[in-house]
């Protein structure tokens, strides 16, 4: 990236340029640590707008370095490209050169996308980028078109979900070296897989945040988030930091998209302009490639999905879909599920319009949320029945197949893989992995205990976990065994081959019948009779082409008259039923006869 403002940039023949934004300081020194040699301490030159810079001809990849600001420190570089030993240790100069083989890669088509969310540390026993590579054949056979990595920005300790990252430009060293990540992405592209990265721009982790002593102006102490002081996104240089980070992952690592975590936590008065800047910066890094820019935004601001001439985000994680369907099939009504007291009606609205909450009151959040979705194509919504949050925020990290019977689970799978929105599979879901996905950390003991208490307090909305006597059953986030028990056992893929086959068959059918159809709301018909949902997709001429009937009731139901056997044929069912009926807890796909 020729326009790098932040961090250390190595350029063969020139050396390494170091740049640091320290607007509250008068003197900044660079402490260079050559391998096996004596350290060098050099004054950096003040630049405009609070930057300090210095180019050192001898500084080469592999050298470590730190900064000293007004005599305090030394501190690692907040824009470090690698923290070899962890967040508190020196930063490392990295050579960005890599022999890419993906020059012809243009990226998958969004309307055909099937996303697979995974956590690098628990996806394989190796827990590394190269470990993920060892399972790419499985993902390709499944029919996945893009993988989504949970955050990989360097975090404290050896294990973390990734949302405690403090070095946003540095892949965590526990997952491998930067070139290992590039190898993974290059291998994905050779197989036709896109790669999306989950990025966190709403806060920094509580341990290892060296922006605080170096650039306190980076934060808005009047704006609190659930994780600490808010980010001062009103400052143009702070915004430039995140814009550069978005470009960096797409340019330097060839990622095919970004998922922006919890954007509702950004300062509301600056949120839209900040996100527009990040979106433009990301797209500018790959103007000739398809990029997937996806939001997590429980505030349901539909305007971020509209193109008003300034561009738009490609999609948003559809929490409403998960929550309504989950309450419908599990009966759980505590916490986030209390906002869906009539889940059948909520799900019907979601299937038609994308969101349930479009301005109404949320009892869980104690405020009105959402804006209307009229006119927004349905492929702007990412639908899922499990995710890292929805599994990992449960006390015991239980997966959906452990909460409902197999028939209900398969009926839910067949429904969400049919929808015109973009489906997202959570790692191990496709073979009913036995391993839970728990919340795990590796913080210092005092911070770890605070996090443990905060997590326990979150479970008090769950009637089954209000009694403190039950809390000892909840695995401690700091224990290594909590992390170890979350690692997927790939033997489950063989033990539950029938479930893998179910996913393969449905994803293949989706590619054949749904991926190319119109995704406008008016091209998708939804009807409901109690817990029986009938969905019909039309082509651009208004001709019915493919249908889905999902029965979440306890009794078999007749196939709706609209789908008469002389005009439609069943191409898939999770549970056969005699006659023209849909079995209880089952889903059928039908195709119109030519």
The catalytic residue positions are: 261, 296
- Give Cα separations from 452 to 93, 209, 341, 395, 469 (angstroms): 35, 20, 31, 12, 15
Largest Cα–Cα distance of the chain, in whole Å? 84
CA distance 330 to 405: 10
434, 493 Cβ separation under 8 angstroms: no
- Give Cα separations from 383 to 252, 290, 523 (angstroms): 29, 20, 18
298, 263 Cβ separation under 8 angstroms: no
Classify residue 137 as exposed, middle or buried by CB count within 10 Å of its CB (0-12, 13-18, 19+). exposed
Geometric angle at alpha carbon 352, from 347 and 353, rounded to 5°:
100
Residues 6+ apart with CB under 8 A from 457: none
Q: Report the run of H or E that residue 563 belongs to, with start and end.
A: none
Residues 6+ apart with CB under 8 A from 249: 197, 199, 255, 258
CA distance 548 to 525: 10
For residue 156, give the 3-state DSSP assignment. coil
Q: Does the CA dihedral 117-122-128-133 come out positive or negative?
A: negative
CA distance 577 to 582: 6
Q: How many CB atoms lie within 10 A of CB 530?
A: 11
**DSSP assignment of 515-544, as one string?**
TTS---GGGEEEEEETTEEEEEEE-TTS-E
CA 236 to centroid of chain Cα atoms: 26
315, 292 Cβ separation under 8 angstroms: yes
Residue 91 backbone phi and psi in degrees, to 5: -85, 165
């Amino acid at each position: 990236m020729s326009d790098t403002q932040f961090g250390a940039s190595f350029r063969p023949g020139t050396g390494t340029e170091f740049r640091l934004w320290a607007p509250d300081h008068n003197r900044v020194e660079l402490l260079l640590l050559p391998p096996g040699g004596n350290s060098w301490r050099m004054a950096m030159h003040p630049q405009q707008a609070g930057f300090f810079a210095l180019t050192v001809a001898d500084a080469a990849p592999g050298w470590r370095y730190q900064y000293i600001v007004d005599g305090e420190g030394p501190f690692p570089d907040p824009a470090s490209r690698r923290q070899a030993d962890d967040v508190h240790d020196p930063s490392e100069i990295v050579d960005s050169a890599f022999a890419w083989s993906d020059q012809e890669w243009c990226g998958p088509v969004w309307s055909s996308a099937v996303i697979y969310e995974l956590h690098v540390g628990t996806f394989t026993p190796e827990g590394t980028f190269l470990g993920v590579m060892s399972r790419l054949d499985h993902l390709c056979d499944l029919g996945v078109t893009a993988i989504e990595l949970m955050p990989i920005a360097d975090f404290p300790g050896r294990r973390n979900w990734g949302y405690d990252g403090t070095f946003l430009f540095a892949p965590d060293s526990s997952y491998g070296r930067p070139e290992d990540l590039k190898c993974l992405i290059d291998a994905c592209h050779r197989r036709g897989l896109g790669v999306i990265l989950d990025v966190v721009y709403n806060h920094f982790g509580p341990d290892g945040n060296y922006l605080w002593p170096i650039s306190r102006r980076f934060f808005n102490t009047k704006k609190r988030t659930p994780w600490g002081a808010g980010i001062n996104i009103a400052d143009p240089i702070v915004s430039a930091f995140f814009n550069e980070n978005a470009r960096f992952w797409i340019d330097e690592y060839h990622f095919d998209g970004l998922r922006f975590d919890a954007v509702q936590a950004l300062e509301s008065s600056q949120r839209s302009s900040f996100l527009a800047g990040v979106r433009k910066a990301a797209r500018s890094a790959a103007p000739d490639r398809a990029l997937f820019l996806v939001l997590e935004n429980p505030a349901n601001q539909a305007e971020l999905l509209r193109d008003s001439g300034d561009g738009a985000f490609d999609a948003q994680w559809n929490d409403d879909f998960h929550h309504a369907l989950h309450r419908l099939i599990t009966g759980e009504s505590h916490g986030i599920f209390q906002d869906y007291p009539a889940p059948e009606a909520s799900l019907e609205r979601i299937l038609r319009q994308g969101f349930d909450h479009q301005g109404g009151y949320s009892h869980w959040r104690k405020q009105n949320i959402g804006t209307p979705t009229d006119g927004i194509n349905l492929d702007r919504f990412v639908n899922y029945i499990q995710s890292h949050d929805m599994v990992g925020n449960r006390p015991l990290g239980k997966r959906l197949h452990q909460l409902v019977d197999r028939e209900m689970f398969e009926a839910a799978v067949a429904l969400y893989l049919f929808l015109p929105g973009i489906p997202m599979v959570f790692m191990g879901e496709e073979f009913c992995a036995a391993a839970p996905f728990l919340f795990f950390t590796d913080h210092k003991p005092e911070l770890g205990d605070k996090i443990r208490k905060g997590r326990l307090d979150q479970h008090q909305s769950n009637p089954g976990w209000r009694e403190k006597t039950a809390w000892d059953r909840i695995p401690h986030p700091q224990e290594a065994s909590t992390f170890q028990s979350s690692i997927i056992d790939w033997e489950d893929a063989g033990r539950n081959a029938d479930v893998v086959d179910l996913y393969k068959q449905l994803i293949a059918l989706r590619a054949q019948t749904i991926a190319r159809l119109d995704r406008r709301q008016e091209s998708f018909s939804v009807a409901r009779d109690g817990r029986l949902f009938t969905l019909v997709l039309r082509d651009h001429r208004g001709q019915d082409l493919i249908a889905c009937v999902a029965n979440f009731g306890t009794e078999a139901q007749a196939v709706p008259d609209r789908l008469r056997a002389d005009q439609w044929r069943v191409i898939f069912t999770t549970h056969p039923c005699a006659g023209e009926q849909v079995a209880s807890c089952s889903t059928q796909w039908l195709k119109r006869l030519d």
